[in-house]
Structure 1
Amino acid sequence: MFSTTVTFEMEISFEGKRALVTGAGQGIGRETVKKLASCGAKVVALSRTPEHLQSLTVEVPSLETICVDLADWDATRKAIQCVGPIDCLVNNAAVALLESFMEITPANIDRSFNVNVKSVINVSQVVAKSMIDRKLGGAIVNVSSQASQAALADHTVYCGTKGALDMVSKVMALELGPYQIRVNCVNPTVVMTAMGKIGWSKPGKAEPMLKKIPLGRFAEVHEVVDAILFLLSDKAAMINGATLPIDGGFLAC
Structure 2
Amino acid sequence: MDALPTTPSFRLDARRALVTGAGRGIGLACAAALAQAGAHVTLAARGHGEIEAGAAAIRAAGGQADALTLDVNDVAGTARAIEGVAPFEILLNNAGTNRPKSVIDVSEEDYDAVLGLNLKAAFFVAQAVSRRMIDAGLNGSIIHMGSQMGHVGGPQRSLYCASKWGLEGMSKAMALDLAPHGIRSNTIAPTFIETPMTKPFFEDKAFLVSILTKIKLGRLGTVQDLMGAVVFLASDAAGLMTGTSLIVDGGWTAE
The answer to whether the superposition gives a TM-score over 0.5 is yes
Partner letter of residue 30 of structure 1? Answer: L
Do residues 168 (structure 1) and 170 (structure 2) align?
Answer: yes
Tell me the equivalent position of 1:135: 137
Tell me the equivalent position of 2:28: 30
Tell me the CA shift for residue 57 of structure 1: 2.6
Q: Which structure 1 segments of 5+ residues have no match?
A: 1-5
Tell me the equivalent position of 1:14: 12
Do residues 56 (structure 1) and 58 (structure 2) align?
Answer: no
Tell me the CA shift for residue 49 of structure 1: 1.0
Tell me the CA shift for residue 51 of structure 1: 2.1
Q: In the TM superposition, what are the counterparts of 1:33-112 in structure 2 within 5 Å?
A: 33-61=31-59, 62-112=64-114
Partner letter of residue 111 of structure 2? Answer: I
Partner letter of residue 209 of structure 1? Answer: I
Tell me the CA shift for residue 220 of structure 1: 1.4
Tell me the equivalent position of 1:117: 119
Tell me the CA shift for residue 135 of structure 1: 2.1
Preserved contact between residue 142 and residue 234 of structure 2 (Cα < 8 Å): yes
Preserved contact between residue 18 and residue 86 of structure 1 (Cα < 8 Å): yes
Q: 1:148 aligns with which of 150, 156, 167?
A: 150
What CA deviation, in whole Å up to 9, does each residue of 1:161-220 have, x standing for no partner? 001000000000111011110100010000112222222233211101111121111211
Determine what percentage of the aligned residue pairs are the same residue.
33
Distance 1:92 1:127 in 2: 14
Distance 1:27 1:54 in 2: 15
Preserved contact between residue 218 and residue 247 of structure 1 (Cα < 8 Å): no
Q: In the TM superposition, what are the counterparts of 1:194-233 in structure 2 within 5 Å?
A: 194-233=196-235
Matched pairs, number: 248
What CA deviation, in whole Å up to 9, does each residue of 1:14-48 have, x standing for no partner? 11100000010011110111121122111111011
Distance 2:179 2:126 in 1: 14
Distance 1:169 1:45 in 2: 22
Tell me the CA shift for residue 9 of structure 1: 6.4
Larger mean CA deviation between 148-157 and 192-201 belongs to: 192-201
Distance 1:223 1:252 in 2: 18
Tell me the CA shift for residue 119 of structure 1: 1.1
Partner letter of residue 81 of structure 2? Answer: A
Distance 2:148 2:112 in 1: 21
Larger mean CA deviation between 195-204 and 45-54 belongs to: 195-204
Q: Which structure 2 segments of 5+ residues have no match?
A: none
Structure 1 length-normalised TM: 0.93
> Against the structure 1 CA distance between its residues 54 and 216, is the aligned structure 2 distance closer, same or farther, given a 3 Å change threshold?
same
